Amino acid sequence: MHTGIALKHHWEKVYSKTLSGKPGWYTPHLQASLCWINELDMPFYAPIIDVGCGISTFAEDLLDAGYRSLTVLDISGRALATVKTRLGRKKSLVTWLEGDIASVDLPQHYYELWHDRAVFHYFTTEEQQQTYREKLLNTLKPGGHLILGTFAHGAPPKCSGLPVKRYTETELESLFGEEFVLLRHRRQRHVTPGGKGQMYLFCHFQRRE
């Protein structure tokens, strides 16, 4: 996995090529995540962070649902600019962070929900995974929720030119450890704009109090 400046350059290049189209992992409405969030019945002011938002409609969908304490994070300024343009005046309702989740500063034990579709699986080494886990534990409130989407076994070994790690729910449950309880999971076949199938695994964890 690239690090630092090289990683940012990679993703800026990816989004510079896809702004007129859609990257392979793009899904307009993340129905699995939105359905699970709706079932949580959280207050509309509950702090939510979307890690690696890309150019998805997730922030728009949450705003339309009534949520008003959203933080959107991506390493690509181009991706963030695309979402801001699409939101128009609504962009003022969102906190925007440009940076790498491995190194960005986030408030301690602040968020009630951490959402990540297709970032964690780029953390392919044990050291990288531990860095991600520590950032999650430092940032998510005890009792808070984690909704995580990764490539499942059977998906390609790379995405957007970078290697990824593919998971089962048991592997993710073991990796995140005793601090989290796996509440539910589902596999979902994603079809890319080019017509190729990719199997995703979505897991919903809750951090223990």
DSSP, residue by residue, 72-126: EEES-HHHHHHHHHHHGGGGGGEEEEES-TTT----TT-EEEEEEESSGGG--SH
pTM more than 0.85: yes
H or E stretch at 10: helix 4-18
Class of domain 4-207: alpha beta
Check residue 34 and give its pLDDT. Answer: 92
Per-residue pLDDT at 190: 60
Query: Cα–Cα distance between 114 and 136 in angstroms, integer?
Result: 8
10-residue stretch averages of pLDDT, the chain, 209 residues long = 75 73 58 92 97 91 96 95 94 96 96 96 96 97 97 90 95 96 90 69 97
Q: How far apart are CA 155 and CA 189, in angstroms?
A: 9
CA-to-CA distance for 146 and 176, rounded, in angstroms?
11
CB 184 within 8 A of CB 192: no
Confidence (pLDDT) at 1: 46
Going from the C-alpha of 77 to that of each of 74, 96, 133, 206, the distances in angstroms are 7, 10, 24, 30
Output the pLDDT for position 56.
87
Res 29: pLDDT: 64
What are the sequence ranges of the domains in the chain?
A: 4-207
Residues 6+ apart with CB under 8 A from 49: 70, 71, 72, 73, 106, 111, 113, 114, 115, 139
